[in-house]
Amino acid sequence: MPDIREGFVWAIMLLPLGSFAVISLLALLGLTRPPRGGGAPVWNARFSGHLTIMAVFAAFLLALWSLETVIANDNARVGFGAHEWVTVGLLHVDIGITLDGLSAIMLVVVTGVSLLVQFYSQEYMRGDEGYNRYYAFMSLFTASMLGLVLASSVLQLFVFWELVGLCSYLLIGFWFHRDAARRAATKAFLVTRFGDLGFLIAILLIWSQTGTLSIAGIQEVALTGAVSSGVITWFALGVFAGAAGKSAQFPLHVWLPDAMEGPTPVSALIHAATMVAAGVYLVARFFPVFASSEEAITTVAAIGSITAIIAALLGIVATDMKRVMAYSTISQLGYMMMGLGVGGLVSAIFHLFTHAFFKSLLFLGAGSVNHATGTFDMRRMGGLRKYMPVTFATVLVASLALVGVFPFAGFWSKDEIMADAWDDRKWVFFVALAGVFLTGLYVGRMLILTFGGEYRGGEATEHGERHGEPHESPPVMLLPLLLLAVMAALAGFANINDDFSHLLEGSVPERAHALLTEGHFRLWIAFASVAAGLSGLAVAWAVYGLKVVQPESVRNFAQPLPEILENKYYLDALYEDVIVKRGLLGGAAILLSLWDRYVIDGTVNGVARVAGWTSAQLRLAQAGQAQLYATVVFLGVVGAIAGILVVNPP
Amino acid sequence: MTDVIRLGPELALLIAAGLIVLMDIALPVSREAARTKRALGFALALAGVAGSIGWSAVLIAADEQGEAFSGTLVVDDFSLFFNFLLAGITGMIVLASADLLARTRFHAEYLALVLASATGMMLMAGAVDLIAIFVALELQSICLYVLVGFLKDSRSAEASLKYLLLGAVSTALTLYGMAYLFGLSGATGLRDIAEFVSASGGDSGTRAALVLATVFLAAGLGFKMAVVPFQMWVPDVYQGAPTPVTAYLSVASKAAGFAVVMRIFLVALGEGLISSDWATMFAVIAAVSMTAGNLMALVQTDIKRMLGYSSIAQAGTFLIGLAAVAAQDPQLLLGASSVVFFLGAYAFTNLGAFIAVIAISQKIASDEIADYAGVAKRSPWLAAGLAACLISLTGIPPTAGFIAKVYVFNAAVQADLVWLALIGVLNGVVSAYYYLRVVLNMYAQEPASEETFQPSLSLGVAMAIAVAGMFLIGIYPNPLIQASESAAAVFG
């Protein structure tokens, strides 16, 4: 095949963007609503789904072509010209495309998972009054995520970084009539913006110190040591703050479980496979920078390790199936960060790749279960194996991949991370091993509560219909499950001949190759990790399946750990009550509102109260207030003069 | 004759204003005539704006630049930029006032005052002599005092009185500062004053007097720019004035204020001897304005008050650019051009926001943010337009507001004012909260009534222009950047 041309690479992003534009324009023109006199709307909502699916499918084909081009190009970066976007004085921002192994893999993952999710959503969202809106936002999200992956300068990347955040916000709050959904959306937005602040500061810092915003330029600067190592470290930490926000790393992970208030396909695409992995992608993109700073890379490893463990522990106590998976996602993202932290760029991105398939499969499976039972509460499920054999089989494959059982996808990628950890930082290896055991535990518990035993009820679905007997989902939903199950089973073989490794190594500058850790396959590590995972599953089986001991008595025995976990380490309480409510709102804003209410509005209200009285008094009150204002002006003048003379005495 | 030709853009507005008043007197007073008069007045005002813009374009095409009226006024890239900007804003305000004018008998007076005030603002941007500056300032201020009180209800009257009183204080301060400058240098021309300042060397007595002059001028003009602590009038006046006038104040009056400040401070007081002092002062004012404006905006429940505080915060952001000019020459231009760019970008964004507020508020008969619940369902276009403008004010790409912030922060970083840029970035995060709260209210709440509504034609057109311009600048900013750079180049 010929090499892909630049216009086609842009089209990968522009196709879903076009679908977003068309759907929103039609909605604004009122063509999506039934006409005044009744009857069907001009634009059938189903068309929005078809349009999105076609756009994403075309983008997927182009993404495959891009990947093929990179491979044909000896895995090296494909050079495209830069286009001037903003030039202000010395600030010169180009927009352009980064097409190399890393971005090509991401393109394929994003378009591929997005395609299946959009297909699945046709049935899942059927009849929802926000059907058009749903597909418009999903298209915009897909376009933004692809734009993020393709960006060649940090500023360009940041633009899309913000856009995916915005889409995530809109989609978490999709069912905005629910109070919980609204609050979850706001929480996600605020928490991730907190991390973004670090990212922005990092951009500001690197620009003020090096004068370049191009990603390749920044990598170059870090590798040649053109700026001090302090700058590199702070830049890397700032970038990592942004990445930690998006990828839900401790202590900014609190938004992701709540984000499950969004529709389940949204969780599958955004909060499992793609956007949350953007943080990992960002760190990987700046890998040469991180690797040049011991402090930064250690931070990545440490935060990743903490996240992997604490989230897995939370997964053991959650009773909501989607939340178990959300914690699992956080934990797995922690694994990817651990991988990066030990220099394993290849293993981390490989894990991102396999995780995208098996985790979105788990979510879509959960959606299928919800479709059947109307609930995500695992205490009201049970016995679904009989009613939903296909869903069960696919979820089982995904679960085994997640735990890392040979030969499923997760085994290969997790094994690489552990091998890298053994060669780089041994303590990370042991954390990872403990994490695998915990993963087995919560996955086993989830499987048994959902699919094992007897059916325990269910309730109305997300859309409000009630179900009697649970039933298997229709083929439109099962087809994506099956395709993803194939990937979850086989994706691990992608790197059996180190093809994946070579592809990614080509995306790292030559000089940075020495910084990569290339852990060797060791049979004992493979055995150890599979054994840890299986023993986790076995313990879960013993407790929840065979009930060798009552879960209650385990809970009582381990106090206060379960209570701490059920309260999510009290972090939500800390953030919301102590920091936000008492600290921020209780402090500064209240003071200011008091000023506003009693000094300014107080006078105005006073004015209003006496308004009917006499106009003479009204005028007096006004004049009095104007005096106050004028006094402030004069104080300002005096302050300014004094300030200048103090700072710079004559 | 050259003088008159160079003054053409201002004269076009003034002539239109005069014709509107004459037409109002000449035509009979009757109900049928009132309609014709209103339509005619509207057409005349828009023709004046078009004539002004056209004349400015002719001035550029003919390369007709230089001084006029014995060096008191000047036509250069800077004044031409503001001619376009201010005439454009005036045209938008005229469009946005259509609904208001339909409800009043005094449409001729209103339009004439708007046009006369715009004339004053244009003269402010072109004046290079203290006396001409002062006359221009008063011309626009007096018109605005009347316009603020135009509704004649108690809120509007109260706002007008406050604006007048505090405006008088600011005029006094400005005059005081000018008097110092004149007393020291014996000149009123800005270039002559600059020569005096550079010739005075480091004499400490002169410097002390210059500091006084600088602070008084900054305080007096700070009133026009609406920066802390000279912003006290803003919330009351913004809330009380008719909303189109509020929009006019927040966009045009502010832009003209910045134009004068740049003329005086960059030309007359641009010498290193004094500029480092005022740059530091502006940096502090910028930081305080941004922070105070944003924090106060957080707790507002009235959308016009909220936009008032937000405009204080935005003015603080513009000031970053001014604070950044004190460093060496390339930065001087960068800082100045960043302010000019921001003014242009902000004009579209803020006008769009205000026009949407005009259209929505008159339908729901409330300015309360809580009453904006569910507007997206009732008027999807207006809600989408307002949401886009608020997103631009937050500084989220791909809008004009994002590029403007990048531009200004970039200027600050290059002038080694990283701390100021940081405060700006932090403030951007805070501001997201109150801007997006409005968006959330419009989209994520159930409407109080299902009745849908549309903006009137003229409001719709104005809104479309504002939003389109805002996105255009956000996606393809280079033309405006080049215009700002050449405007700022007059200070080089």
Return d(Cα B93, Cα A512) in angstroms, integer: 58
Contact A618 B235 (CB under 8 A): no
Select the residue of B284, B381, B402 nearest A28 (Cβ to Cβ).
Answer: B381
- What is the pLDDT at residue A139? 92
Residue B125 distance to chain A (closest CA, Å): 23
Whether B372 contacts B441, CB under 8 Å: yes
In a domain, B415, yes or no: yes
Pairing of strands A91-95, B73-75: unpaired
Enumerate the residues of chain B whose CB falls inside 8 A of the CB of residue A155.
Answer: 406
Whether A296 contacts A240, CB under 8 Å: yes
* DSSP string over A366-411: HHHHHHHHS--BGGG---HHHH-HHHHHHHHHHHHHHHT-TTSHHH
In a domain, B455, yes or no: yes
For B479, name the nearest residue in chain A, comparing CA atoms only: A86
Band the pLDDT of A496: cuts 50, 70, 90.
confident
Band the pLDDT of A458: cuts 50, 70, 90.
low
Return d(Cα B8, Cα B357) in angstroms, integer: 34
In sequence order, which residues have a C-beta less than 8 Å from that of residue B374 and are 6 or more positions away? B442, B445, B446, B447, B448
Contact A636 B230 (CB under 8 A): yes
- pLDDT, tens digit (0-9, with 9 covering 90-100), for B8-55: 899 999 999 999 999 988 888 777 778 888 888 999 999 999 999 999
- Domain extent, residue B289, equals 274-492
Say which residue, B273 or A450, is predicted with more confidence: A450
Mean pLDDT of chain B: 88
Enumerate the residues of chain A whose CB falls inside 8 A of the CB of residue B446.
Answer: 177
CA distances from A206 to A94, A215, A234, B374 (A): 16, 11, 9, 42
Question: Is the per-residue pLDDT at B465 higher than 60?
Answer: yes
- pLDDT, tens digit (0-9, with 9 covering 90-100), for B330-373: 556 788 889 999 999 999 999 999 999 999 988 888 888 888 88
- What is the pLDDT at residue B317? 93
Question: Is the per-residue pLDDT at A624 higher than 70?
Answer: no
Residue A173 distance to chain B (closest CA, Å): 8
- Residue range A491-501: average pLDDT? 79
- What is the pLDDT at residue A125? 84
Return d(Cα B279, Cα A640) in angstroms, integer: 12
Residue A159 distance to chain B (closest CA, Å): 6
For A629, name the nearest residue in chain B, comparing CA atoms only: B232
| Cβ neighbours of B252 (radius 10 Å) | 29
In sequence order, which residues have a C-beta less than 8 Å from that of residue A522 and are 6 or more positions away? A419, A422
- What is the pLDDT at residue B195? 87
Structure tokens at A134: 């749903």
Band the pLDDT of A613: cuts 50, 70, 90.
very low
Select the residue of B211, B236, B426 nearest A604 (Cβ to Cβ).
Answer: B236
- Nearest CA to A104 out of A544, A504, A490 is that of A504
Select the residue of A205, A632, A640 nearest B281 (Cβ to Cβ).
Answer: A640
- What is the pLDDT at residue A7? 85
Statement: the pTM of the whole predicted model exceeds 0.80: no
- What is the pLDDT at residue A612? 42
The phi, psi pair for A622, rounded to 5°, reads -65, -45
Enumerate the residues of chain B whose CB falls inside 8 A of the CB of residue A30.
Answer: 380
In a domain, B120, yes or no: no
- pLDDT, tens digit (0-9, with 9 covering 90-100), for A502-523: 888 888 887 777 777 777 778 8
- Nearest CA to B414 out of B323, B301, B316, B314 is that of B323
A33 Ramachandran zone, left/alpha/beta (phi>0; psi -120 to 50): beta
Mean pLDDT of chain A: 81
Select the residue of A87, A89, A194 nearest B330 (Cβ to Cβ).
Answer: A89
Residue type, A251: P
In a domain, B409, yes or no: yes
Residue A643 distance to chain B (closest CA, Å): 8
Return d(Cα B468, Cα A525) in angstroms, integer: 59
Return d(Cα A43, Cα A65) in angstroms, integer: 33
Residue A522, classified by CB atoms within 10 Å of its CB into exposed (0-12), middle (13-18) or buried (19+), is: middle
In a domain, B286, yes or no: yes
CA distances from B427 to A157, A274, A343 (A): 21, 29, 36
Return d(Cα A470, Cα A455) in angstroms, integer: 9
Structure tokens at B348: 């579209």
* DSSP string over A32-87: TSPPTT-S--SS-HHHHHHHHHHHHHHHHHHHHHHHHHHHHTTTPPBP---EEEEE
Return d(Cα B246, Cα B250) in angstroms, integer: 6
In a domain, B474, yes or no: yes
Return d(Cα A647, Cα A443) in angstroms, integer: 64
Chain A interface, best mutation among B413, B422, B473, by max A CB count within 10 A: B413
In sequence order, which residues have a C-beta less than 8 Å from that of residue A531 and are 6 or more positions away? none
Handedness of CA B377, B382, B383, B388 (dihedral sign): positive
Where does B324-417 have alpha helices with state H?
A: 329-364, 375-378, 380-394, 400-414
Q: What is the ipTM of this complex?
A: 0.79
Question: Is the per-residue pLDDT at A604 higher than 80?
Answer: no
For A30, name the nearest residue in chain B, comparing CA atoms only: B380
Question: Is the per-residue pLDDT at B128 higher than 90?
Answer: yes
Return d(Cα A511, Cα A201) in angstroms, integer: 27
A243 Ramachandran zone, left/alpha/beta (phi>0; psi -120 to 50): alpha
3-state percent helix, strand, coil for chain B, nearest multiple of 5: 80, 0, 15
Select the residue of A84, A166, A592 nearest B299 (Cβ to Cβ).
Answer: A592
Whether A330 contacts A569, CB under 8 Å: no
Q: Domain tally for chain B? A: 1
- Residue range B426-432: average pLDDT? 83
C-alpha triplet A215, A219, A224: angle, nearest 5°: 145
The length of chain A in residues reads 650
Return d(Cα A519, Cα B83) in angstroms, integer: 67
Question: Is the per-residue pLDDT at B489 higher than 80?
Answer: yes
Enumerate the residues of chain A whose CB falls inside 8 A of the CB of residue B232.
Answer: 628-629, 632-633
Residue B409 distance to chain A (closest CA, Å): 8
Whether A390 contacts A487, CB under 8 Å: no
In a domain, B317, yes or no: yes
- What is the pLDDT at residue B443? 80
Whether B387 contacts B442, CB under 8 Å: yes
Return d(Cα A516, Cα B374) in angstroms, integer: 53
Whether A395 contacts A473, CB under 8 Å: no
Contact B165 A173 (CB under 8 A): no
- Residue range A183-192: average pLDDT? 82
Select the residue of B162, B341, B418 nearest A208 (Cβ to Cβ).
Answer: B418
Contact A162 B173 (CB under 8 A): no
In a domain, B392, yes or no: yes
